[in-house]
Amino acid sequence: MQEVLVDGLFTGGGGRTRSLDWATKKGILFGAAQGLNYIHTFPARPALVHGNVKPSNILLDERSAACVSECGLMRYAASVQQSAPQPPELFLDRAVSSRGGWRGYAAPELTAPGARATQESDVYSFGMVLLAVVTAKGAADGGEEEGEGEETMGMVKIGVLCTAEAPEERPRMAQVLTMMSEFM
């Protein structure tokens, strides 16, 4: 893995930055959604969550294929039995702090004392990443090709669904993949 997604641009080693075309960005976002869906549907009990979805945790290989990184920070979902291991409180307190740099991608419910990451909070964070890349697209890319306006609006709608204020109103990552596949 050599590059990191940052605000719709991709930075490599040595501070190099490059802008990617819309089709490549869509592919990267779709790959990140696939990675999160894999984490969420992995047959583990208790269920797994990533807990730190943000642009700098989407890495690219030499073919610009996405990999959701920092999987070592995956946490168990909050809905598990009390006997199951729980993530330390410190993790989310640090993650949503302004110093942690994650605040802009964190679900609103994670700011509550004792809050724990959930699959729904991962979906929210992915939606924020999606919106950041899509909204940066117009400014960075200049003109639109035929049909890109519909795709852009479709991706914005998906991002808005993912960032619903109420966690239970957010789609599952499998549903996000289905919606995104219409634009691939």
Amino acid at 179: M
Query: What is d(CA 145, CA 163) in angstroms, rounded to the nearest whole number?
Result: 27
pLDDT at residue number 125: 95
Mean pLDDT in residue range 171-183: 96
Query: Residue 177 — left, alpha, or beta (φ > 0 → left; ψ -120 to 50 → alpha)?
Result: alpha
Cα torsion for 140, 16, 123, 104, to the nearest 10°? -80
Q: 44 or 37: whose pLDDT is higher? A: 37
H or E segment and range at residue 48 = strand 48-49
pLDDT in tens, 7-39: 455 555 555 566 778 888 899 999 999 999 999
Does 181 have pLDDT greater than 90?
Answer: yes
**Domain 3-78+86-181 listed as CATH 3.40.50.2000:** no
Global pTM value: 0.77
Domain ranges of the chain: 3-78+86-181
pLDDT band of residue 68 (cuts 50, 70, 90) is confident
Query: What is d(CA 27, CA 106) in angstroms, rounded to the nearest whole number?
Result: 23
Instruction: Please name the residue that has the structure tokens 């641009």.
Output: 9
Closest CA relative to residue 160, chosen from 184, 111, 127, 117: 127
Residue 138: φ, ψ to 5°: -60, -40
